[in-house]
Amino acid sequence: MSEFQLNVRSTPRQSDVRADVPCLAAWQLALLFLLAFLMVFSRRPDALFDPQFRAEDGTVWFAQAYNSGWFTALARPQTGYFQTLPRLAAAAALLVPLRFAPLLMNVIGLLIQVLPILVLLSSRSVSWGSLRFRSVLAFVYLALPNSFEIHATVTNAQWHLAFLSALIVLANEPRSRAWCTFDLVFLILGGLTGPFCLFLSIVAFLSWFLCRGAWRAIQLVVLSATAIIQASALMFGNVRHPGPGLGASALELIKILGGQVYLGALIGANSLATRHGTAVLVVLCTATIFGTALFIIGAITGGRHIRLFTVFALLIFAASLSNPMESATMPQWQSLLIDRGTRYWFFPMLAFLWSIIWCAQSPRPLLKRTAAILLVFATVGVVRNWRCPPYPPSHFSASAAIFSQARPGSIVRIPIYPNWTMELHKKPPH
């Protein structure tokens, strides 16, 4: 049995405590948080040096908060479910001049992206394994290739918030009021931001069933309550799905798994899924077979945390493929084949690489060497995709200056990347 394997029959306290694993002090966690923030910032420096709204950041969250009032917008579902985090970020952006609003929202997106590091490297996660093992997991999360769409943006910060919520569910029970408050705040915020709580509540139930404990029961109740709220919004909301249909097939699934997920995690963003020819198909099929095999081996032989996280990642991935909202002009899966770095690859790629990391410490020589070779190979993707492509300049500062000089009651239209338009109804000064 691997040294990280947990005995699920033991009591929660016994199963959660690893006396042989060193714990970081508060100042060390703070320093690592700062370093992680700088790492994420270095991948997309234009988020702070040339801040601008992207897609829903401006056209939905900020525009609705400004035009309708932030509290009214807070209770409004978007694409069928509540999106509390970006709504609150937009509410905070109303407190600063318009030219600084994108900067503030990008900073919030960056902070949410880095927060999972606090849980993963703290004493709350010692039962995952050694500090070195968790540090490798954390680095892979921060350096994940083929994930341009979710970096430093409030709109897609919901994916990082869902990851944080999953780590909280899988973490040891908190032993201070500060951690208890942290757990409740971000579980509620994560549960009311996107549909992820529908799947995380399943993981929370499994975690409670395996380890029991009052705090795990509280987490299950919180996530179940938010899941009911989000499910109600999805059931009774009038959601229109874009595009002429799903366009799913076995061939497209092989291209998605082999090209976008497995090879995307190893060599970074690539166009193999859109290429034709027998040789390309052989490469994609081989990547799909071996990638899935390693995924399964890592999930089966891994500890409780790896297994439960894999379950969560696969549930999210299955839901993403069954109901993607990617294109209004072509079948959804065909659009996914050409959309590199999209949000839908985040969880399966991360779970896949984490499974390889687990296999790299296997006592079986062949499995260990194979996983080690793949991890070395994965540095190609990290290097190739470290710097995210900057958004094309939209001259947002000039648009903000025009808005500041507009007459009250007028409608100001501001171009937003990618080719969207934000409409603001200029209000009289207070």
Give pLDDT tens digits for 159-193: 999 999 999 999 999 988 999 999 999 999 999 99
Question: Is-cis flag, bond preceding 418, omega within 30?
Answer: yes
Of 66, 68, 118, 54, whose CA–CA distance to 92 is shortest? 66
| Distance in angstroms (rounded) separating the CA atoms of residues 286 and 78 | 39
Task: Give the type of residue at 7.
Answer: N
Alpha-carbon dihedral sign for residues 109, 55, 327, 241: positive
29, 104, 33, 36: which is closest to 65 by C-alpha? 104
Dihedral angle of Cα 334, 335, 340, 343, to the nearest 10 degrees? -120
- Number of residues written out for the chain: 430
Give DSSP secondary structure letters for 342-397.
-GGGHHHHHHHHHHHHHHTT-SSHHHHHHHHHHHHHHHHHHHHTSSPPPPPP--HH
Low-confidence stretches of the chain (pLDDT beneath 70): 1-22, 237-243, 327-328, 430
CA–CA dist 378, 389 (Å, integer): 20
CB 344 within 8 A of CB 286: no
| Identity of the amino acid at 112 | I
Per-residue confidence (pLDDT) for residue 116, from 0 to 100: 97
Residues β-bridged to residue 415? 421
Domains in the chain: boundaries: 24-236+392-430, 249-388
Phi then psi dihedrals of residue 388, to 5 deg: -75, 140
Cα–Cα distance, 411 to 385 (Å, whole number): 39
Q: How far apart (Å, rounded) are the C-alpha atoms in residues 423 and 59?
A: 7
Grouping H, G, I as helix, E, B as strand and the rest as coil, residue 272 is helix
- What mean pLDDT, rounded, does the chain reach? 88
Intra-chain end-to-end CA distance of the chain, in Å: 67
| pLDDT value for 6 | 34
Helix (H, G, I), strand (E, B) or coil at 426: coil
Alpha helix stretches (DSSP H) within 124-258: 131-142, 157-170, 177-191, 197-211, 214-236, 250-255
Q: 260, 341 in Cβ contact below 8 A? A: no
pLDDT at 20: 47
Q: Are 83 and 193 in contact (CB under 8 A)?
A: yes
pTM for this prediction: 0.90
Our measurement of the distance from residue 370's CA atom to the centroid of its chain's CA atoms, rounded to an integer in Å, reads 28
Residue 21 is predicted with a pLDDT of: 53
Structure tokens at 211: 């380890």
Query: Phi/psi of residue 424, each to 5°?
Result: -120, 130
Q: What are the C-alpha distances in Å from 22 to residues 29, 115, 122, 123, 138?
A: 13, 21, 10, 8, 16
CA distances from residue 291 to 104, 274, 294, 296, 335 in whole angstroms, order as listed = 39, 19, 5, 9, 23
Task: Tell me the C-alpha distance between 423 and 58, whole Å.
Answer: 9
DSSP helix, strand, coil percent of the chain (3-state; round to 5) = 65, 5, 30
Partners of 54 in the β-ladder: 417
The SS3 assignment for 215 reads: helix
Rounded to the nearest 5 degrees, what angle is found at the Cα of 24, between the Cα atoms of 7 and 11? 20
**What confidence score (pLDDT) does residue 4 get?**
36
